[in-house]
Structure formats: C-alpha cells, structure tokens
Copies of this chain bind each other. A is one copy, B any other.
Amino acid sequence: MATDSLIGRSVPRIDTPLKATGDAVFTADIKLPRMLHAGVLRSPHAHARILNIDTSRAEKVPGVKAVITHKDTKGVKWGVFRYTRDQLMLPIDRVRYVGEEVAAVAATDLDAALHAAGLIDVDYEVLPAVFDPPSALAEGAPLIHDDFPGNLNVHVHIDVGDVEAGFKESYLVREDTFTSEEESYFMTEPYAVVASYDAHGNLEVWMPNAAPHQKAKALSNALDIPLNKVAVRKCYIGGAFGGRSDVFPGEYIAALLSVKTGRPVKLVYTREENTIATRQGHSMIFTVKTGVDRDGKVIARDMTCYMDGGAYSSTAGIATSVPCQCLEQTYRMPNMRYNGFRVYTNKPVRGMIRVHGRAFAGGVDLQLDMMAEELGIDPVEMRRRNARQTGEVTPTGSKVQSCGLIETIDQAAEAAGWREKYGKLPKWRGIGIGNNSVQTGFPLGIRGGSQAFVKFNEDGGATVISGVVDNGQGNDNMLVQIAAEVFGLPMDEVQLISADTEVTANDPGAYSMQATFTGGNAVRLAAEDARDQIFEIAAEALEANQADLRLKDRMVYVEGAPDKGLPLAKVIRMGLIQNRPVMGKGAFAPRVDHRREWVKNPKGQLSETFSFGTTIVEVEVDPETGRVTVLNAVCSQDCGHAINPAVVEGQFEGGFAMGGQGGMLTEAHRWAGGHCLNPTMADYKLPLSVDMPPITPIIVESEDPTGPFGAKEAGMSVAMSAAQAYAGAIRNATGITFTDFPITPEKIVKGLKEHGLVD
C-alpha cells in the first residue's frame, strides 16, 4: 500500500457529524403523513392459558383505528431456523413469559393507544411456571411447548477424537463448573418500529437492525408479501451487540397494524420493553473437564453447558454452538466433546450477545489458570502452548488461514509488564489474561454473500450501493474507506447508499463479524470493476496501457508519467458521451460449508477466516467493599489489517466495557416469579465512561489472504477475552476462584469472608 493510502488511516468516521448535531434520524424520530401510534398489551403472567380476549372496550376509545390479536395473524410460527419455529406473531391460547405480546392497538396518538391497550380484557388461567434450566428439565416440570418434550429446545452435540482415552493419557485432569446470570445489551437506542403498508401492497419498515435483508425475509415469509415489496429502510441505529439480528413480534405488530389501517404505524418500546421483549443474554451452567500433559498442553476436553433460553427459540441453534466453537478456534484440543443444552423457561427470550456466555468464556481460562498453577507453568506460557496457529484445522473442521494469536499474547504480555508483575504484585492486586477467537464471514439465514453496485456521477463523484448495515460500529465508514481507496478519491467524494433492502442487493447482515470481510469485499470488488471500466476509457484516450493506469487525487494518470493524465470527472463524462457509463458490480461470499444441520452438529468450514484477541487486566480489589478497580488494561487483537485503526480501537473499548467491566463485575438481571426486577438503567448496572480504565490497544496484523486489504473483524475477540482476563485477575488478586459471573462486590465480600480473608 502506498504511504498515502487511506487504508490504515484513522480518518474521522462519516457518521459522526449527524450524530453529533442530533440530525441523525433514528427510527423513533420518523414522522410520516397520517402516521398512527401503537401500544402493546403484554402478559402479566409468566405462564398462563388465554381463555378469552375481548377488545370491544378498546375499540371504542376515541382515536383508535385498529386493535389486533392473534385473529389478525395467519397463525404462522416464525423463527430463525426451520426446526426452531416456535413463536406466533401474537399468541393464540398461551403466554409463556411476563411481557409477552398479547394484543396491540393503533391510534391517532400514543396516549389513546396505550389507554386502549389497557382496556383489552384478557381472561387468563394461570399455569405453573419454571424459571431455570434444572427445574425446567426436572421430571414433571410444566411443559412450555407441547412439541418440545422435557423443555429441551436445542441440543448441540460435538464429539471429536476420543475424549475418554485423552483423559486417561493426561497428566492432570480437572473438572469445574461455572455459572453466569442473564444479562442485557442496553443499547443506547430502545427498540422502535415504523411500518407503512400501501394500497399497492408495498410494506416499508424502519427498525434498528443488524441484518435488514433477514428482517425483510422474515416479514416476507410471515406476512406472505414478496421480498421485493418488503423494504426494510436505512435509518441510524444506536447499537446492536447481537441483539438486533433476530426478528421480534414488534415488527409484525407494526406491520399488521399498518396493513389493517392502511396507514403508517409507529411503535416505540420503553426501556423496560426493550430489556424484556427484545432479547437478553443466556444464563449458563457450564461444566468443563480438561486433561493436559505434563507441559500443560490440552489433550482432551469435555464440556457441558445448560443455557436458560427463556420462552422461545430465537437464534437457539447458533447460541448453543458458538461458545464452544469460539473456544476450539482459540485453543488446540485434539479430543473434544461438547453437549450444549438450550432449555425453555418462562423468562424473556434469549439471543446472541457479544461474549456468547460469560460462564463459558471465563470458565475455560480460569481452569487453565488453575491447571497452570498446579503444573507450575506461567499462565501466559500455558496459553502460548495451546494457542491456535495459522494453517491448523479446528476439531470441527475449519482451516485457519491467518492467525496472529501468539503475537497478540506476546505483545499484550509485554505491554502489560506480565513478566514483572505476575506473582509479584502487592496484596489485593492481581493480573489476568484471556484469549478468544471469533468467526469472520459466517452467513446464516440468508443465501449467498454480499453484493454491491457502484455508479459515478458526471462530476466524478462515486456512489456505492451496499446492503451492509451500520449499527453504530462504523460500517458505513468502512465501506466508504474501502471504495475511496480503490478510486483514489477523498472519502467525501464517495457517497454510500446502504441497508435498504429495496435498493441494495443481497447482504447477510452485520452480525457474526462479517460486515468488513463479506460486505467490505463485495464493495472492494464492485469498486475495482468500476475502476477497470474507468481505466478502459482512459487507456483509449491517453493511448496508454490499461495496466499502467493509476487513480489518485481525482486524476487518472499513467504510472511513471505524472504529466500524462486525465481528470477523473472528464473520463466519466467521456464514458457517458460514448454510452460506456461506469457502472460497477461486485459479489463476495465467504467459502464456508453450507449444511442445513450445521448448527446442531457443526462440521466443516464454519467461517472463511477467524480473528484472535488477547486481553490482560491488572486489578486491585478493595477487601472491605469488594469493589474491583482496574489499574491497567491491554487489549490486543489480530484483526487481519486495520482499515481504520481508530475504529478498531473504539471497538476494543466497547468490547472491553461490555465483556469485561460490565459483564464480569456488575451486569446481571434479578428476578421474582418471572418478573425482571431491574429492566432499566437505574437498576441494571452498566459501566459508564467514568468507570472505564485506561486501555492500551495493540493491533496485530496477520494480513488475511482473502479479507479486503487483509482485514478480518474488529474488536469482537477482545470483548470475549476481556471477560476471561477479569476473572483471572480477580482470582490472582484474591486467591479465590469465583465461579459465578458477574463477580459482583457482594460475591467478592462473601467469598473473602468464607475464606477467612476478611472479618
């Protein structure tokens, strides 16, 4: 790359000005002519039979234009995978968690809608409920879904090599159990939907989402509207973190109300509704048995995980298999067994979340620390010996084409002063390390990869059309930076149209770390196609060889002959006059093994490539209050190649805050009879910017052979490794292995007391 390349430069993000000024239009900001407002009636019971719904009082409220119940739906069950379709748009005869949608109202103003929703009379017969996996799996437990016996939603089973033989062969074997509580995303933007159905049969929908084409497909299927008449529109989005990929009843409710009234309908969730009725992160009970040789190398690992899935499937299959796969990508283990059970309970629906389960992530690394201690091996060395390397194949069959894990470990250890600090810190101080890896380019739910178009205007400016969505992580900027680099244009001269399913071609979505790898590659290819057309026109005019042409500073010039060139705008205009308009297209799909049963029994290439991250934190524990203060943090990631280092570092910070600072110290939901007691920011303890320690970011570039300009993904493997590093550091500081996450001050004080370390 030339030194003046845009790639690798921390240019300011293109979405910043509008967010800074407040001009960015988020879904709840949208106003449409004749728009109605929606209110939802939710279940007050964790489990109950619906005997009758009487909407007559609600319909009489002035301003009410429509009331919908299950009678207005086609009774179709929907879900991410065919075999986990278990949720009706609106329930017919049963509610399964407190907060479940029962009916909804559209009215000319919000007050009327909410008032009318409250006047819908529902007769319930309360049923016994279960709130945790052991109770739900117990003999005689109330059955939540008739067609899922034993309340078992999904069982993922992986068995590679000979685990029992491996344990026999091992020098040291340990078995530990770790648990973690439910957590939430707390996106800055609460969920909202605007739906507008017109007399021509077109449905427009705006909502915060991580996969517009997936949302469109789900709405198309459930409402029986062709895909090209369902337009999920671009809007600004205030965070996703795994919690916006899935499909929610809110979308159907808004769409159905719009179909019924023939008017646009806006539905805005309160913060409480966002917490309860979108998605939460699973709680887990995770048992891991590991056998290592004398040198600490893992020979065999057997893992069992019970996940509280709540009342419906959501992304059940992926959520149950991905934690294990992240682990197998990170650390070698020739013999591996995994049994993941996702269990129904009468609690809110659980989906994917950034760390994929703290018990899993934190547990494995904590156990490694314990075994390292028994073997007298330094924890960093223990990890180096087991670290995945380029060219290896994971137990389930994914080849790793680029891997900088050893580098992230070494560079983080060096920057954190591990050698000087580990075992040498004063009392109540500790240091811990975590490592993780995530898939990059992992399409699910949508066939094929990402596609992009490029067009040029006669003044030489370019427009890129891509289905990639930006949830706040900077994808819009990433796409523009890639295209601008190909065109040699300032970023300001590349306009982006994205994430509008009517306009943009297929794209799987900005989840599972594929926006840069998949969508970025499609844009790169489309831009290169357009650039080749520009060179073809210019080569004729300049009487030059097409291969010698370069694009830079709005000029097409001949390499080595800086005087010989044409303004880009002129070449574009020549193309228009000659009826050879510059119109680029590009398509990229990651090379993965597509198998229907993949999520239940993973086998083959999961993702074309993987990213790797290491976090080290140094903490001080206050023995009186249990408060943990992070004194130093180093985040290191092999992101392939950093297209925009400032954005990558921003993702480190966000991932560290969510996976480590919040996830391992404070964030957990409290419950009473299926009621979530802390659904708001006042009660649920999110870390604020003032709580955050200074972070030293280290970008490791393994230059992925397929990624756009070598790039993979930014920040996700840091989020997961942060959870692990916190757990290890607290153990190192206190000498106690806390096995229930988050490790709140209460738990620390209780632990210290139980171990007689404080009075």
Contacts and interface: CB of A to CB of B under 8 A. Distances in A.
Contact of A579 (B21, B35, B494, B587): B587
Interface stretch (A330-338, A345-353, A497-505, A722-730): A497-505
B18 A199 contact: yes
Contacts of A545: none
B583 A463 contact: no
Number of copies: 2
A727 B523 CA distance: 60
B505 A448 contact: no
B576 A583 contact: no
Contact of A589 (B459, B579, B587, B589): B579
Interface in A100-122: none
A319 interface: no
Contact of A459 (B227, B463, B594): B227
Contacts of A419: none
B577 A594 contact: yes
A184 interface: no
A424 interface: no
A84 to B, nearest CB: 20
A17 to B, nearest CB: 4
Interface string A431-460: 000000000000000111101010101110
Contacts of A33: 25, 29-31
A78 to B, nearest CB: 16
A585 interface: yes
Contacts of A502: 463, 495, 497
Contact of A17 (B199, B453, B461): B199
A262 interface: yes
B21 A465 contact: no
A87 to B, nearest CB: 22
A664 to B, nearest CB: 37
Contact of A587 (B21, B463, B583, B585): B583
A293 interface: no
A588 interface: yes
A18 B587 CA distance: 35
Contact of A14 (B200, B228, B588): B200
Nearest to A585: B583
19 contacts: A14-B200, A17-B201, A18-B199, A21-B199, A23-B198, A23-B262, A202-B495, A226-B459, A226-B461, A226-B493, A227-B459, A446-B458, A448-B579, A448-B581, A451-B581, A453-B453, A455-B506, A495-B502, A497-B502
The 4 closest A-B pairs by CB, nearest first: A448-B576, A228-B495, A227-B457, A228-B461
